[in-house]
Structure 1
Amino acid sequence: MPISLRQIRYFVATAELGQISQAAVELSISQSAVTTAIRELERTVNLQLFERSSSGMGLTPAGREFLFHAYEILQKVHEATHLTIPSGNVEGRLVVAATYTVIGYFLPDHLQRLQRAFPGLDIQLHEVNREAIEEGLLDERYDIAVLLTSNVRDPQIASETMMSSTRRLWVPSRHPFLKKARVGLADVAREPYIMLTVDEAANTSLSYWSTSHYSPNVKLRTSSVEAVRSMVASGQGVAILSDMVYRPWSLEGQRLETIVLQEPVPAMNVGLAWARHARFNKAMEAFRAYFRQAFHIPQMRTDTSPSAPPHLAKTDGAG
């Protein structure tokens, strides 16, 4: 029996969430459908991919190896079905600014695709913070930027959100919260908290904590997502971060799980920004057209005149 994409998707969801029930909710299907698909997959590859226990589904060594291949398969399928922009005659230099989180967890794969779609386009990438991006766009040091769009402050900067990444609670594998029907900020406040600070993440975190009656018990403030991941996975604290920066394993090989909090937590928005007075050249248009098509954004006209209303929203930090 050949392996199906359905089996791969169900396997990945179960591997990431650690429980068939959570995978079924994420996929909007029945638990029996997930169970059947995983059993069929294990029979096909003739390997045990999961260790079953009362606390959930843990990957076996074979399962961890298979997960890497599963990610590659789904990535290739996504590329084949979502990127249809043909190679164009766009040539020239495009100076792009991006923030730390965007460069680390969002841009690399898209830059590779852009290079294939527009081989004559020379993209020069600069990593800078949001304030420097706004100044550079207005001073014409950068043509366009990729950043957390809800952070944009200057009304002379136009922005367009391409994707939103849900924020969830990160906990170590087998944390007691995983057995609770509902987890809220009151529960999180009793745990040691690892606070990410890069890309204004701390400001965002405090913004939604401030609307509750609780405060995080901050054990460490760090600009490193990998430090947060390692400390959470090893049981030294919990964190609330976005799905975009989530990976189920720390560098030490320890597992993390995620939980949806009962209180609403703002998503992390990623998109493009440019100076309102800027006149789009062919390189800028090609760059924006790629992202609009990749994320199915309607090809609407964007008003970049100085009098246009600014795209402002609540502060949105990394993670």
Structure 2
Amino acid sequence: MAISFKQIRYFVSTAETGQVSQAAVALSISQSAITTAIKDLEMRVGATLFSRSQQGMELTAAGRQMLFHAYELLAKIDEMTNINVPGSDLEGTLRVAASYTVVGYYLPHHLERLRRSFPQLDVQLFELNRDAIEEGLLANRYDLAVMLTANTNNPDLSTETHLSSRRRLWVPARHRLLSLGSVGLQEVSDEPYIMLTVDEAAHTSLKYWSKTPYRPSVRLRTSSVEAVRSLVANGQGVAILSDMVHRPWSLEGRRIETIQLSDPIPAMDVGLAWKRGIAFTPVMQAFRDYFRQAYHLPMGQ
């Protein structure tokens, strides 16, 4: 029996959420339908794609490889369904501020889809830190921002979260923690830690560490995700970062594995922000509706 597009969608949603229940909610289907689809997919490829535990569904090595190919397949299908079919004659200029992580790991794919759907829409992108984004939105220099929504609590801004990317522990291949049945912040505290600082990652990290009696043994602080990737892959330390920025290989071609931690670690929330009370223009609304449709959220103002 051939692998179906539906099975691929169910597999990807489960991999991204780490929970069959959350994937079922996101796809508006039953948990049993997802469970059956994944079992059939595992039989078809002849490999176990998830390890199942009380913490959720963790991708196996085969599962991570499958996810890589699944993303490629979904991207090709997306290209097929959008080729030479502009979705609207909407035109205008939209000034969008975005943070470093969003520009590097989230927006490129969406900007290309927006370009195909709205060829007359000129999206002007500005990379800034959170303080500059918030100040620019309030000063009307930018129409909208795409940012880590959990980082802002400015009462003069409205936010809307579209994606919650789980944070997991990054370790090099064959690391000792991979053999443990359960890994929490206590075990992580015994390891040299590579602390990412960009987009207030260090501040976010210390918030969940502070709820435990443990602290990370920081070997290096860096603003470069690629530096974290290479250092972890080369056995210089471990890090806790989101699935959105995870890649299974470093620039040197060394493997990076992930572990779902037993302690509660907040996801990295990504979405839109805008000045509270501002009237949405047609191009602003089209931009917002695009993301709502992409993440299956209710449409409308």
Fold-level similarity (TM above 0.5): yes
Aligned to 1:315: none
- CA deviation map 1:269-308 (0-9, x unaligned): 000001113211111011001001111111253xxxxxxx
Task: Give the match's secondary structure for 2:87.
Answer: coil
Q: Residues 10 and 37 of structure 1 are in contact (CA less than 8 Å); yes or no, is this contact kept in structure 2?
A: no
> What is the aligned counterpart of 2:44 among 37, 41, 46?
37
- CA deviation map 1:6-46 (0-9, x unaligned): 89789999xx9xxxxxxxxxx85699756543349xxxxxx
Aligned to 1:198: 198
Aligned to 2:124: 124
CA distance in structure 2 between the partners assigned to 1:28 and 1:237 by the alignment:
35
CA distance in structure 2 between the partners assigned to 1:78 and 1:152 by the alignment:
32
Aligned residues: 270
Q: CA deviation at 1:77?
A: 3.1
CA distance in structure 1 between the partners assigned to 2:37 and 2:90 by the alignment:
48
Q: Residues 185 and 214 of structure 2 are in contact (CA less than 8 Å); yes or no, is this contact kept in structure 1?
A: yes
1:166/1:80 CA distance change after superposition, 3 Å: farther
Aligned to 2:264: 264
Q: CA deviation at 1:152?
A: 1.3
- CA deviation map 1:183-232 (0-9, x unaligned): 01000000000000000000000000000010000001000111111111
Q: CA deviation at 1:147?
A: 0.2
Letter in 1 for 2:297: I
Task: Give the match's secondary structure for 1:236.
Answer: coil
1:293/1:150 CA distance change after superposition, 3 Å: same
Aligned to 2:143: 143
1:139/1:76 CA distance change after superposition, 3 Å: same
CA distance in structure 1 between the partners assigned to 2:115 and 2:151 by the alignment:
28
Aligned to 2:54: none
Task: Please give the residue correspondences for 1:130-209 in structure 2 after superposition, counting only pairs within 5 Å.
Answer: 130-209=130-209
Consecutive unaligned residues in structure 2, runs of 5 or more: 17-33, 48-59
CA distance in structure 2 between the partners assigned to 1:182 and 1:134 by the alignment:
40
- CA deviation map 1:130-175 (0-9, x unaligned): 1001110111110110000111132111110011000111111111
Aligned to 2:284: 284
Consecutive unaligned residues in structure 1, runs of 5 or more: 17-26, 41-55, 302-319
Provide the identity percentage.
Answer: 59
RMSD after superposition:
3.3
CA distance in structure 2 between the partners assigned to 1:32 and 1:12 by the alignment:
14
The more displaced of 288-297 and 85-94 is 85-94
Letter in 2 for 1:246: H
Task: Give the match's secondary structure for 2:97.
Answer: strand
Letter in 2 for 1:266: P
Q: CA deviation at 1:268?
A: 0.4
1:163/1:178 CA distance change after superposition, 3 Å: same
The structure with the largest alpha-carbon Rg is 1
